[in-house]
Amino acid sequence: MHGLPQLDLPPLTGASGTVRLPGSKSISNRVLLLAGLAAGTTELHDVLTSDDTQVMLDALRTLGCGVESGARASWRIRGLGGRLAVHTADLFLGNAGTAMRPLAAALALLATTQGGSFTLRGVPRMHERPIGDLVDALRPLGCTIDALGTPGFPPLRLRGEAGGRLQLEQPIRVRGDVSSQFLTALLLALPLVAEAHDIAVEVHGELISRPYIEITLALLARFGIAVRRCGDARFVIPQGASYRSPGSLHVEGDASSASYFIAVGAIAAAGGAPVRLEGVGSDSIQGDIAFVDAARAMGAQVACGPGWIEARRGRWPLAGITIDANHIPDAAMTLAMMALYADGPTRITGIASWRVKETDRIAAMATELRKLGATVVAGADFIEVAPPPAPGAWRAAAIATYDDHRMAMCASLAAFNPLAGAHVPLRILEPRCVAKTFPDYFEALLGLAQAASADVPVLAIDGPTASGKGTLAAATAGALGFHLLDSGALYRATGLAAGWDGVALDDEERLAALAATLDLRFGQGDASGRIWLRGREVSDALRLEATGLAASRVSALPAVRRALHGLQLAFRRPPGLVADGRDMGSVVFPDAALKVFLTASVAERAERRHKQLISKGISSNIADLRADLEARDERDRRRAVAPLKPAADALLLDNSQLDIDASVSCVLGWWQERSPFERARERQARAGEMAPP
Ligand code: DC
C-alpha cells in the first residue's frame, strides 16, 4: 500500500462522524528537539507518527539521546543536557524543514563550542529550500558552516574545535520574511549558550507566519525558558536560561490537519450530524486554529471547545472571500480548495512563503485547480480562485501532488463535487505523500464520507478453489487502495460456526439463521488477513480443509446465500472494493466495473495447494488433492444457486503459467482501461470533440 501510485475517489455526497487528529507536526518536532537538548528524561505523549517526526527521532538517536517508544504514540527522550555525546554525525532529514532548521542552529552552536563536525542533508527538494538567512545569522557568531551544494541551501556541514568562542554580545540579526523557521531555530537553540549573558535576536524585514513563533515561545516556556519579547522585532534569551524538562508533555492534535475536516464539514455535513474533530480545539496554541475564523467567513458553521471542534454546513454555496492569510499559510491551502464550492472568487494574499514550501504551492495549486475546471489567477504572493462556472464545467482530473502532503490532502476535497451539482470521479496521484504529517488521512476521510453505492467501483475476481484468487484480490486491493472482500471467508465462517454450535450441514433454516447473525470482524486495513468470529481469532481455523468442505456444503443452500447477501453488499464503501469468490461478478455485484474469472488448470491448482500444505508442514498426496478439488469444483458448478461460472461479461484469466506479480499487472492493466475514472475521461474527451470550437 505504501507505494500506491494513485487513488481514485468516487463522487462523494456527504460526510459525518468523528475524527481523532494525529499530533501536531510543529509541536511534535519542537518538543522532541527540546527534550533531546534538555537534561533528564521527558515523556512525550500523542506525538505525531510521520515521516517528519521519524527523521527527527532518528537524528536524536544518532546524536546519542535516549529514544524509547511507549504505548500510543508516546516517547521517552533522555536528553543531552546541553553536552554533545557524539562529535561527528551525518544526519538525513528527509524533507522536514522543522528538523533541518533547528538542528542546523543547535549543532552549529554546539560544534563551535564543544568541537565536532555534523553534516545535514535531505531529499532533493530539501536542497532547494532556503536556509541562507539562518546561516547568515549564525556565521557572525563564529560558527563555521560549509554549504556542500548550492550556497544558501542544504546540505550543510557545521564544524568547530572544542573551546571555540561565540560572539554573542551584539544582537543576532535574522531575516523574518522568508521563513519564520529561521527565527524559531535560533530561539530553540540559543539557550544552549546563554550561561554568560542575555542573547538578543533582532528580526529584519516583516516577520511572516508569526503564529509559529508563538508556538515556539509557548513550548520554550514549558521547558523553563521565558523569552523576553519586544513586539515582533526583538527577542531576548535571558542569561542563565537552560532547558528544564517538564517531565511529561501532551502534544495537541494538528490544527493544519484539522482544516481539511473543517472544510469537509462546511461542504458536506448537511442537516444532521456534524464532522467532529478531537485532539485540538479552542485551547490550542497553534496559529492554524485561526483557520476556523476564515472557514466561518466562507460560511462554515463551526463550534469549538477545549480539545474539540465541530463543523457543519452554514451558508451554501460558500461565500467567496478576500483574505490576507499570512497568519495561516498552511491552512490557507484548504481555503483555496473550499473556493471550488463558493459563489464567487476567493482571493488569498500574503502567501509568498507558499513558494518555498514542500513544493511551489502557488504554482502547484493553480495548475491543479485549473485541471478541475476552476479559473485561477496567481501572482508572486497571492492566488485567486473562481469556481467552475457551471456544474458541467467540473472535470474528472488526475491531481498531481508534488510529493507535498498538503497538496494530496487538499485534492481530496474536490471529490465532494456532487454537492456543487457535478458528478465526476477524482484521481489523486502518489497519495501516500500524506505520510509526511498524516499517514492515515485517506482512511480517516473515507471513514466519514458517503457515496452512492452505484458510484463505488467494484472489481470482481471469481474462480474455482485454489486458483490463487485470494492472493490476487488482496494484492490488487492493495495496489488500488481499495477495500477487500474475501466472500469465501463468510461461507467458511458459517461452516465453522455450524461446527461450534452442532448444527447439521443440511439444516438450511438454522444455517441461514447462523449466517444472518455472523459476528465477524476483519483485521485493520481489511487486507491484514486476520479474522475474528464471535471474538475468537479464526484466521487459521478458516483455512483448514475441513472448514473449506463445510463451506462448500453450506454455500449450496439458497437461504444461506440470501442471508450473506446484505453482508457482502456492505463491503462496498468508498473508495472501492475488490471482491473475490464464486459469484461476485455474476450475482452479488452484477454492475462491477471489471469482472475477472480465473481458469487455472486443476493440475496446476493441485500442485499449488500441495506446495502450500508442505510449507505449513502438512503432508499430502497430489492425486488426492486433485480429486478433492475436482469434487468441489463439480459441487460448486452443479448447485442450483449461484453456480460457479463466469459472468457473461467477465474477462477470463488463465493464471496457470503466471506468477502473482504478472497476474496482478494483468488485472491492473484491465482496470486502467475500465475504471470509472477512465470512463469519465473518455466521456469528457468525446463531449469536448462534439462541443463547438
Ligand atoms: O474461496 P474459498 O475456498 O474460501 O470458498 C469456500 C467455499 O465457499 C467454496 O467451496 C465455495 C463457497 N463460496 C461460494 O459459494 N461463493 C462465494 N462467493 C465464495 C465462496
Q: What is the mean pLDDT of each run of 10 residues along the chain (693 residues)?
A: 80 97 95 97 96 96 97 94 97 96 98 98 96 96 97 98 95 91 97 95 91 95 96 95 96 96 95 92 94 98 97 97 96 98 98 93 98 98 98 97 97 98 98 94 96 98 91 95 95 97 96 95 70 94 90 94 96 97 96 96 90 85 91 85 90 93 96 96 88 62
Q: Give the distance (Å) from ligand 1 centre to CA of residue 548.
A: 8
Q: 168 and 157 in one domain?
A: yes
Atom of ligand 1 nearest to the CA of 462: 18
DSSP class of 139 = G
- Here the cell at position 13 is 455526497
Do 411 and 482 lie in one domain? The reply is no
373 φψ region: left (φ > 0), alpha (ψ -120 to 50), beta (else): left
Q: Using alpha carbons, select from 108, 116, 98, 115 the residue that is nearest to residue 57.
A: 98
**Shared domain check, 260 and 244:** no
For residues 527 and 482, what is the distance between their CA atoms, to the nearest angstrom?
Answer: 9
The helix or strand, by DSSP H or E, that contains position 308, with its residue range, turns out to be strand 308-312
Whether 330 is catalytic is yes
Q: Which atom of ligand 1 is closest in space to residue 639's alpha carbon?
A: 15
H-only helix segments in 517-659: 539-543, 545-554, 558-569, 602-615, 622-638
Do residue 79 and residue 187 come from a single domain?
yes
pLDDT at 9: 98
Alpha-carbon distance of 648 to 111, in angstroms, equals 72
Nearest CA to ligand 1 atom 15: 555
Residue 536 alpha carbon to ligand 1 centre in Å: 21
At 3 the pLDDT is 61
Catalytic residue among 330, 462, 486, 636: 330
Q: Is the residue at 77 inside a domain?
A: yes
Cell of residue 40, nine digits: 533528564
Residues 262 and 246 in one domain: no
Closest residue by Cα to atom 13, ligand 1, is 488
Residue 541 located in a structural domain: no
- Compute the distance between CA of residue 335 and CA of residue 327 in angstroms, rounded to an integer: 13
CATH number of the CATH domain containing 329: 3.65.10.10
Do 216 and 269 sit in the same domain of this protein? no
Q: Are strands 66-69 and 75-78 parallel, antiparallel or unpaired?
A: antiparallel
Tell me what pLDDT residue 466 has. Answer: 86
Query: In terms of domains, do 169 and 271 share one?
Result: no
What's the domain count of the chain?
Answer: 3
Domain boundary among 215, 250, 285: 250
Closest Cα to residue 539, out of 522, 515, 517, 525? 522
For ligand 1, mutation pick of 465, 560, 578, 645 (most atoms within 8 Å of CB): 465
Are 199 and 299 in the same domain? no
Q: Which atom of ligand 1 is least distant from the CA of 465?
A: 3
For residue 588, the ligand 1 atom closest to its alpha carbon is: 18
Please check whether residue 121 lies inside any domain of the structure. Answer: yes
Residue 261 counted as domain residue: yes
Give the residue whose CA is nearest to atom 11 of ligand 1: 552
Q: How is the beta sheet containing 483-486 ordered, strand by strand?
A: 483-486, 577-581, 458-462, 594-598, 651-653
Q: Which one of 435, 450, 465 terminates a domain?
A: 450
For residues 57 and 72, membership in a common domain is answered with yes
pLDDT in the model for residue 525: 55
Of the three residues 395, 421, 450, the one that is the final residue of a domain is 450
Q: For residue 70, tell me if it sits in a domain.
A: yes
Indicate whether 91 and 173 sit together in one domain: yes
Q: Give residue ranges with CB within 6 A of ligand 1.
A: 465, 487-488, 491-492, 548, 551-552, 555, 581-583, 632, 636
Residue nearest to atom 1 of ligand 1 (CA): 488
C-alpha to C-alpha distance for 184 and 174, rounded to whole angstroms: 11
Residues 618 and 602 in one domain: yes
pLDDT score for 527: 53
Q: Is residue 540 part of a domain?
A: no
Q: What is the pLDDT of residue 634?
A: 87
Is 511 inside a domain boundary?
no
Q: Does 498 map to a domain?
A: no
The verdict on 230 and 282 lying in the same domain is no
Q: Which residues contact 400 (CB under 8 A, 6 or more apart)?
A: 364, 367, 368, 407, 429, 430
CATH number where 584 lies: 3.40.50.300
pLDDT tens-place string over residues 371-428:
999 999 999 999 999 999 999 999 999 999 999 999 999 999 999 999 999 999 999 9
Note down the domain range covering 264: 6-22+253-450
